Amino acid sequence: MKQAFPVYRLIFRVNAVCLAALLMWLLPAVPAGGQEKAAPSGRIDRDTVRTGETFSYSLSYRHPSGEEVFFPDSTYNFSPFGFRSQEVFSTRTDKRGSLDSAVYHLVSFEVTPVIEIALPVFVWNGKDCTAVYPAKDTGFVALSVDRARLDTLALTSRPELVAVKERLNYPALLGGLLIAAVTAFLVNWLFGERISRQWKVFRLQRRHREFTRGFNRHFLNAKNRGSIQDVEKALILWKNYLERLENKPFTTFTTREISDNISDTSLSEALKETDKVIYGFSAQSEDMGNSLLTLNNVAQTLYINKRRSIIGVNTPV
């Protein structure tokens, strides 16, 4: 016959299990080997931080000796504080684990009454790093400028000029020359032939206007005043213009040679008539006006043909 299980033993075991569970919930976890792992500790070295002056922030972290940790360095973003320098201390290991620590020298330009700072420690977990932060430490801010004296300060001017040595920016100059050369090459390659034709046409038109203006003046003087000198000047001006237009020595050609180079039936008679006026010393010829008009028409025809040949229209007038 089995004996009954004592009730008091059952109650004792239930109480033991509950107590063990309560202790496991209340006590912090302790890593294997008895090594401690707690949150990092960070604190400012003073209670009051003056704006613009350097202060120190101490950061330490106790962790298991087999754990790899990293502290912030100069590449870390310490905003809103400015980084000045850093002191790193060697790792100290004992039975409680490893202790790493560093001191950061920072500067603050904050004007708020209180500043807060908490720099993290990065723990390597085999794949990436996890940032572990300490509790924020605070410090009171003391302004470096005495506000009571701001209204009493007077600005002074220094009107004297300071000579500044001029320096040529060679990289910019070379870059500008290179850009200009490339631009000129591209413009010439794309539009060079068209620009050249337009320039030749412009010069041709300008010379023709000058010829027409001068020839008409001599023509009117010869017709209205009977001036033999104006007839001669009109003929010389006409020969000079044709010489530049056709690139032939018309100023040295005789009347026959000019007629042989220009196929115009009325030109030969006009030249003979102007020779009769010039060398006969008589401007009373009835055909003198028509002869000068013939010379002008020949010049106009040669000009139009030259202009058409430049712009690519080869049909003569």
pLDDT attached to residue 193: 83
d(CA 70, CA 38): 16
Distances (CA, A) of 74 to 77, 84, 85, 104, 106: 8, 9, 8, 10, 11
One-letter amino acid at 256 equals R
Longest CA–CA span in the chain (Å) reads 176
Per-residue pLDDT at 99: 93
Structural domains of the chain in order of their starting residue, each with its CATH number: 32-145 (2.60.40.740), 179-311 (no CATH)
- Per-residue pLDDT at 109: 86
Give me the pLDDT at residue 17, please: 45
Q: Would the pLDDT of 14 be above 90?
A: no
Average pLDDT (227-254) is 89
Query: Higher confidence at residue 150 or residue 51?
Result: 51
Q: What average pLDDT does the structure give for the chain?
A: 82
Pairing of the two strands 121-124 and 114-117? unpaired
Most confident of 183-187, 213-217, 255-259: 213-217
Q: Supply the pLDDT for residue 2.
A: 42
pLDDT in tens, 193-220: 888 888 989 999 999 999 999 999 998 8
Q: What are phi and psi of 273, to 5 degrees?
A: -65, -45
Is a pLDDT exceeding 50 seen at residue 300? yes
Backbone angles phi, psi at 159, to 5 degrees: -75, -15
Average pLDDT over residues 111-115: 87
Q: Which residues contact 315 (CB under 8 A, 6 or more apart)?
A: 308
pLDDT-based confidence at residue 311 (cuts at 50, 70, 90)? confident
Cβ-count burial 80-109 (b if 16+ within 10 Å, e if not): ebebeebeeeeeeeeeebbbbbbebebbbe
Lowest mean pLDDT among 72-81, 206-215, 224-233, 296-305: 224-233
Residue 61 in this model has a pLDDT that exceeds 80: yes
- pLDDT the model gives residue 29: 42
Q: What order of strands is seen across the sheet that includes strand 137-142? A: 48-50, 137-142, 114-117
* Confidence check: pLDDT of 26 > 60: no
In this predicted structure, what is the pLDDT of residue 123?
93
Answer yes or no: is pLDDT of 172 > 60: yes
pLDDT exceeds 70 at position 69: yes
Say if CB 119 and CB 105 are below 8 A apart.
Answer: no
How many percent of the chain have pLDDT more than 90?
A: 35
241 has a pLDDT exceeding 70: yes
What is the residue whose two structure tokens read 């000019």? 258
> pLDDT-based confidence at 225, cuts 50/70/90?
confident
pLDDT at position 28 is: 43
Chain position carrying tokens 């001599």? 218
pLDDT number for residue 148: 59
Residue 120: what pLDDT? 94
Q: What percent of the chain has pLDDT over 70?
A: 80
